[in-house]
Amino acid sequence: MSSEPDDLLSKADALMARHHPGRVPAAPYAEIPVLDEVVDMPAENDDLPLLTEYVVPAPLDEEQFKTLAASIRASLLAGLQPEIDALIEERLKQALAPLVETMFDDLRGNLQMIAREILADAIHAAVEQELEQRKLSG
């Protein structure tokens, strides 16, 4: 049963590492410092406060459950949204850059072809006009 939280945390760390390659995974539970020394308190210092009442939390009703669920969803979305936005922007840049370059090359080629046709038509008209004027004057 104790391996389930470790497994879940390992999966969460792996997911976060895929989206942030430079992120350092969390240290395993085994590295968390634990108090392993028992301290005997002298009886004369018996004025420490003690918990004398056991409180059982009441189960959530449906409305409280929905409110809690909505709050958790909103919190998760708020935390993940910047990462999602950055990931989308990165992917769009990677995908769009070659497309924009191809479109630019196509546009440049089309504009050059149109410019050549206009220039050829203008030269043809100028030559025809010059020949016509020479016929009339000659």
pLDDT tens per residue, range 52-97: 777 777 788 888 889 989 999 999 999 899 999 999 988 888 888 8
Higher pLDDT, 76 or 4: 76
Q: Please state the domain extents for the chain.
A: 1-32, 86-138
Q: Is 49 left (phi over 0), alpha (psi -120 to 50) or beta?
A: beta
8 A C-beta contact, residue 19 and residue 41: no
Higher pLDDT, 16 or 79: 79
Q: What is the mean pLDDT of the chain?
A: 81
Place of tokens 């410092």: 33
Q: Which residues of 65-89 are buried (b: 16+ CB within 10 A; e: fewer)?
A: eeeeeeeeeeeeeeeeeeeeeeeee
8 A C-beta contact, residue 29 and residue 6: yes
